[in-house]
């Protein structure tokens, strides 16, 4: 008897909605990353994308514990000399709250083609509305 390996056609992907209001950023990110990677799926194989879709709503209402909201800094590099750009958490959450959650969740996924495929199944929205009602997502 051989080992069962799921193919792309046999994987049925579910859609989940996560409400970020009042939740801690890291705990929400680890939960979403495990769903995206498919580790909660009984058909999980580390070299095949068996994960489900995750929709995160109310991204602006996520919270940090302690003094992290004052001290946390997001850095990116433009590619030019002297092009290091820094932005504080409070300013980024006011300007683009989706970016905070996307960086936290995608940072927990593998840094490969497979990880990018997993990250493409993540949808983050600022308010409590999302355009994925046709997929009949299940609330977590």
Q: Residues 28-41: pLDDT tens digits?
A: 999 999 999 999 99
Q: Which residue range forms the structural domain that includes residue 94?
A: 15-139
First to last CA, the chain: 37
Q: Which candidate, 82, 59, 65, places its Cα nearest to that of 26?
A: 65
- Within a domain: 5: no
d(CA 32, CA 26): 10
d(CA 122, CA 102): 8
Longest C-alpha distance within the chain, in Å? 60
Give 24's pLDDT tier (boundaries 50, 70, 90).
very high
Q: What is the pTM of this model?
A: 0.92
The CA-atom distances, in angstroms, between 126 and each of 21, 94, 98 are 10, 10, 6
Q: What is the pLDDT of residue 72?
A: 96
Q: What is the pLDDT of residue 21?
A: 96
- Within a domain: 3: no
Number of domains in the chain: 1
Q: Which candidate, 119, 127, 136, 4, places its Cα nearest to that of 56?
A: 127
- Within a domain: 81: yes
Q: Residues 63-106: pLDDT tens digits?
A: 999 999 999 999 999 999 999 999 999 999 999 999 999 999 99
CATH number of the domain at 126, please: 3.90.1180.10
Q: What is the pLDDT of residue 16?
A: 98
């Amino acid at each position: 008897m051989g080992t069962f390996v799921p193919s792309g056609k046999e994987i049925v992907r579910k859609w989940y909605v996560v409400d970020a209001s009042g939740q801690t950023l890291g705990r929400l990110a680890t939960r979403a990353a495990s769903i995206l990677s498919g580790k909660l799926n009984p058909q999980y194989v580390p070299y095949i994308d068996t994960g489900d879709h995750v929709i995160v709503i109310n991204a602006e209402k996520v919270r940090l514990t302690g003094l992290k909201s004052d001290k946390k800094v997001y850095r990116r590099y433009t590619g030019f000399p002297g092009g290091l750009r820094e932005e504080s958490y409070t300013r980024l959450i006011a300007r683009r709250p989706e970016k905070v959650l996307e960086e936290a969740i995608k940072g927990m996924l593998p840094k490969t083609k497979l990880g990018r495929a997993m990250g493409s199944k993540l949808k983050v929205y600022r308010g409590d509305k999302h355009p994925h009602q046709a997929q009949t997502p299940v609330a977590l």
